[in-house]
Amino acid sequence: MAIPISFSLSLSYPVSISLSLFIHPFSLMEKALQAVLAAAGTFFAVTLLLAIVILACQRRKAKTSMLLTRHDNRATNPTRTRTRPLPNTDQSSVSVVDASWSSDPNLKISLTELARATENFSPNLIVGDGSFGLVYKARLNDGTVVAVKKLSPDAFQGFREFQAEMETLSKLDHPNIVKILGYWSSGPERLLVYEFIERGNLDQWLHEPTTGPNDHISLSDLRLPLSWETRVNIIRGVAHGLYYLHGLDKPIIHRDIKASNVLLDSEFKAHIADFGLARRIDTSKYSHVSTQFAGTMGYMPPEYVAGANVANQKVDVYSFGILMLETGSGRRTNLPVKLGEEDIGLVQWARKMKERNAEMNIVDVNISREGLREECVKEYVRIACMCTAELQKERPEMPEVVRLLDSMPL
């Protein structure tokens, strides 16, 4: 139905024209409906977008909360750490994220226990700074005093490598080798637990200033200069430990023999520690192993300094010879020695003293000369010079070194 709209035009002519415009009523309704639909569509789109944003935020918040809860549980709930024996060869290929192991079933190795025992790894309990980590003194709930080493993430490539090394080292049984008691591992975190050796390391006794009663410590903590006899016995202990490592079916090369890695017990018996750089060699296949640059400046053999990356038992022999000279002289291995107007290295200085028949000049000035036998010092320096020979083939093997040291007069 059309709605007529009429109007008239008056012209100069006597004519009257009437025009009618017709507007369909549904055209108005259609436009109104389109406007309503457009508004509804816009409202729905905006509502849907807001819902998606809110849902995404809620999911992200829930995921974050779950990760935080998992982290807190791992740090505080020891039941999440699976304690089990070291895996055998067939199991070692299984990738394990969280694991712990103890040589004694009664010795609890968990993050909660170790954090409590070290007072949350307090700097006040640090007793050493070895390769790849700090060492803390810790007292477990059962009263056992242990050393806990917190390894840096780059100490091992992954858990399987770490696990294999611990399996090897836990089987070592020698009075001059530190005994590993267990470990805790989660992701990149590694904690190594081993027996606590009372008197610290040899480096402290050789180089740290003598502490006196005015420093408010007990007499048992005094570090007085070691006697010549004590130093020789320490060196003999290290030699026997290396002899044991090199004599295994698959010899172990320590690769970081130095004073700070020699621990001393209450009777000043030596214990070789810190096997973070140690490597095993299969003598049935190879006489050496190619490896990355390793060791400590001042103790490394000439072939390492020259860039060679070949390691065998003779590498340890050289470092041991340096340790002999350091222990006997009380001099730092990486500091030059003044000889006349010339500054020379420790090895060169020892050789010159030997050539001049002046080996007694090598002996630490803090050592009493009373009762010190010159023939003992001469033999000691001779063995040290043999071990630090420039060429590997000229260095003795550890069985020969042990034989010479044990037969040396005191």
- Give the residue numbers annotated as catalytic, written as ranges: 256
**CA 223/CA 210 separation, integer angstroms:** 6
Give the separation between CA 395 and CA 384, rounded to whole angstroms.
10
- Bridge partners of residue 134, in order along the sequence: 129, 150
Which residues, in sequence order, are bridge partners of residue 135? Answer: 128, 149
Q: Closest Cα partner for 2 from 23, 19, 30?
A: 23
Complete DSSP assignment for 204-220: HHHHSPPP-GGGS--GG
In SS3 terms, 143-167 reads as CCEEEEEEECHHHCCCHHHHHHHHH
Burial code of 357-371, b = ≥16 C-beta within 10 A, e = fewer? eebeebbbeebeeee
The letter for the amino acid at 272 is: I
Distance CA 151, CA 192 (A): 7
Largest CA distance in the chain: 157
200: tokens are 């610290």
Kind plus residue range of the DSSP H or E element containing 169: helix 159-170
Residues forming a β-bridge with 101: 183
**DSSP codes, 21-85:** EEE-HHHHHHHHHHHHHHHHHHHHHHHHHHHHHHHHHHHHHHHHHHHHHHHHHHHH-GGGS-B-P
Q: How far apart are CA 41 and CA 25, in angstroms?
A: 25
| Contacts for 84 with CB less than 8 Å, ≥ 6 apart | 99, 101
Q: Tell me the two tokens of residue 271.
A: 């214990």
Instruction: List CB contacts of 253: < 8 A, sequence separation 6 or more.
Output: 245, 246, 278, 279, 280, 281, 289, 311, 312, 313, 315, 316
At 310, which amino acid appears? V
